[in-house]
Structure 1
Amino acid sequence: MRRHYFIDSSDKFVETICQMARMVPPGRGRDGGQHGEGGQGQERFARYEIREEYGTGSVEVYQVMEHSTLVLFDVAFCDDVIFEYDMKSHYVGVTYCIDGEMERHEQGYEGFLFAQNHLFVSKSAEMKGRTCQHGGQRYQCVSLNMNSEHMIHLLGKSGIELWDDTMGRLERLTRRQYVTGGQLGEVVTNIFRSIFYCELPEKSKILYYEGKVKELLSLLVSGKLPGLENDETAMLLDDYEIRQIRLGHERLMENRGHPPTLNQLSKELAISRNKLAKGYKLIYGKTIYDHYRTTCMQDAVVLLSDLNKSVQDIALDIGYSNASNFCNAFKREFGVTPLQYRKIRLKNASGQSGTRTT
């Protein structure tokens, strides 16, 4: 079964959420606990819990600054949910996926899978397209929506000139990096995650979120996000090259322990060494083999949660020939050995007083 909804304004979005969810009394957080009292500023915040017939989870809507809406999604629908949107009022959208995935289609661009650590920046004009979230899949994201006609109130005259220039370059040169889900660096990732996991009282969150939104906008207008640097090679990446570079990452992960060299990858992918190296860093935020090692270490962290797996087993799973080399690499990455990390995680899990629930 599929549910279709049409969105043409922020008000229509809130109206649609109200159909699918019930408003939660002021002060109750996503974990069910009290996060401060209501009162002044409460009209700038609303939290909705998804009704059982639609699924589970919550949607939080904050009015931050003038003509800007910050939305935090933590939902899992029973059925496929499709939002058709046609924003006539020149909206700008910036969305970051915390976890999960959804299909996105925007007029004029190919559809793509929007997944964890992906950033989507809409064009600063009319927005038209659709999203599809498949039933049974949890989806968490932070979405900032602004009316571009009121951007000058947020950024000032000098800021709006920078914004127009940056959005122009994003449109002409590297926007497809974002539309296809460009991987982000730690600075930007931390901004979005600090917003999503903020545990301040509701009446304090507005001020905190406004500061984070301004920090994010400053990064956007400064061109410091991956893909907006003044790099001639980045400007020349086309859709084929982006796909080939992503395929190169898959090849690395398929050959753990014996990853192909840069020359071998370049030949297999039919892309020059220089463009492969610079394009990879543009998309993933790190050099090819730095990102390869980081990905292996992240996989090791997941495997360490399985108490039936020994350190030697995990070392072999992620491509190391012996546990000693793996332990040394893990300690360089995280500052502790794999066994120490496992003990810390177990201790934290046993001592945790509560967890975030949907």
Structure 2
Amino acid sequence: MSRYISSNELWDTICKKLCYPNSNRGKNNIFINDDFGKINVNHFSTGFGIIYSSFVANFYEDTILENCNSYNSSFLSFNTGNTIYMKDSFTKNEMQWDSNICLNGEQHSGHISFSKHKKNQQVIMHYIGLDNNLFKDFIQNNQYYKDIEPLYKSELIEVNFNNYINKHQKTLLNDLLLTSSLEDKLQTLYLESKLLELIYASVNSVEVQSKINDIYLSAQDIESLNRAKNFLINNITNPPSLKELAYKSAINEFKLKKGFKQVFGNTVYGFLQEYRLFKAKELLEFNEININEASLLVGYKCSSHFSKIFKKQFGISPLEIKKENRRKIYY
């Protein structure tokens, strides 16, 4: 039995604080710690037709989340967490949204959907809402968007595959996730610059993605690669060798190495390190634990090595994260 959370339950804490693309410039940082789980939302409106939201959550049981849209807009959405299942409330059609995939589309006021999330699996989504005319200007000379076949379409929404999230996009998404919670005016300008760069990279990525070195992956291969990714996530403190991972995922080692990077935009152990560091960042931000404990919980025995790669990943040290959280609690 899944826990159901309606948009009404989150209206005062989240929904009414989120702006539409043509709203005034502003930011909102929202954190919820409830019996159903933890949700962290950072929201930013540029004031000229573009909004950005990051949604990081962990639910304590299988959860169905109701999502209501109250404005017309185009969008780019990025899933960098676990697989999400989306269901349209009107057509009842369900769509699987795998990790490391960017979607684009157009939605209208009144659209309602439901997202299904597995318990204790990290949800990390990024959403960019754009004024429809602005987005049309961005893509007017891009033939891909003229010929695109929707993954899903109904009266109030159209969803299209944009691209597998590449390394450049991933770096920008990491930067946005880090800076969107900061209040410094200079950081806000930095946030805006990275947001615009991400839009440019995402709109043009469909043209510049090279398929020359790609290998053919069947539906069974994709299933095996997702199995490998989930096995890594569930064994972050004691990860398997590539040979063992290939065996457990029912795929040969060559396809595991080549296909993993092709589908998820990172090597097997590059993905593992990123996931470990994001999990550690979440632990440091939302739990009263020290740096050494966080390091051990995500599989790093040497806290000094952990701190070094953490700072390289996020541009801020674990100690600074803890200090910032103490400052927030104090104020």
In structure 2, the partner of 1:291 is 271
With 287-296 and 212-221 compared, the bigger mean Cα shift is at 287-296
In structure 1, the partner of 2:323 is 348
C-alpha displacement of 1:215 = 1.1
C-alpha displacement of 1:248 = 1.1
Shift in alpha-carbon separation, 1:268–1:139, aligned structure 2, 3 A: closer
- Of residues 199, 202, 206, the one that matches 1:220 is 202
Q: Which amino acid aligns with 2:86?
A: R
Does the Cα contact within 8 Å between 1:92 and 1:147 map onto a contact in 2?
A: yes
In structure 2, the partner of 1:44 is 24
- Give 5+ residue unaligned stretches, structure 2: 152-159
> Could you say which structure has the larger radius of gyration?
1
Across the aligned residues of Structure 1 and Structure 2, the Cα RMSD in angstroms comes to: 6.0
Does the Cα contact within 8 Å between 1:45 and 1:60 map onto a contact in 2?
A: no
In structure 2, the partner of 1:175 is 161
C-alpha displacement of 1:70 = 0.8
Output the CA distance in 1 between the equivalents of 2:274 and 2:264. Answer: 11
C-alpha displacement of 1:282 = 2.8
- Of residues 261, 272, 275, the one that matches 2:242 is 261
| Aligned: 1:314 with 2:296 | yes
Provide TM-score, normalisation by structure 1: 0.53
- Of residues 88, 105, 109, the one that matches 2:87 is 105
C-alpha displacement of 1:216 = 1.4
Output the CA distance in 2 between the equivalents of 1:221 and 1:269. Answer: 33
Output the CA distance in 1 between the equivalents of 2:44 and 2:148. Answer: 30
Deviations 1:9-39 (A, max 9, x none): xxxxxxx968986679xxxxxxxxxxxxxxx
Q: Aligned residues, how many?
A: 294
Q: Which amino acid aligns with 1:333?
A: I
Task: Report matched runs for 1:114-133 at 5 Å.
Answer: 120-123=102-105, 130-132=113-115
Provide TM-score, normalisation by structure 2: 0.56
In structure 2, the partner of 1:245 is 225
C-alpha displacement of 1:270 = 3.5
SS of residue matched to 2:251: coil
Does the Cα contact within 8 Å between 1:73 and 1:139 map onto a contact in 2?
A: no
Shift in alpha-carbon separation, 1:102–1:96, aligned structure 2, 3 A: same
Instruction: From the two aligned structures, give the one with the greater helix fraction.
Output: 1
Does the Cα contact within 8 Å between 1:59 and 1:73 map onto a contact in 2?
A: yes
Larger RCO, structures 1/2 (Cα 8 Å, 6+ apart):
1
C-alpha displacement of 1:271 = 3.1
Q: Which amino acid aligns with 1:197?
A: S
Q: Which amino acid aligns with 2:271?
A: H
Shift in alpha-carbon separation, 1:217–1:133, aligned structure 2, 3 A: same
Deviations 1:178-226 (A, max 9, x none): 6xx9998642223432562242459x95x7665444311211133189x
SS of residue matched to 2:222: helix
Does the Cα contact within 8 Å between 2:86 and 2:95 map onto a contact in 1?
A: yes
Task: Report matched runs for 1:53-72 at 5 Å.
Answer: 60=43, 62=45, 64-65=47-48, 68-72=49-53
SS of residue matched to 1:289: helix
In structure 1, the partner of 2:176 is 192
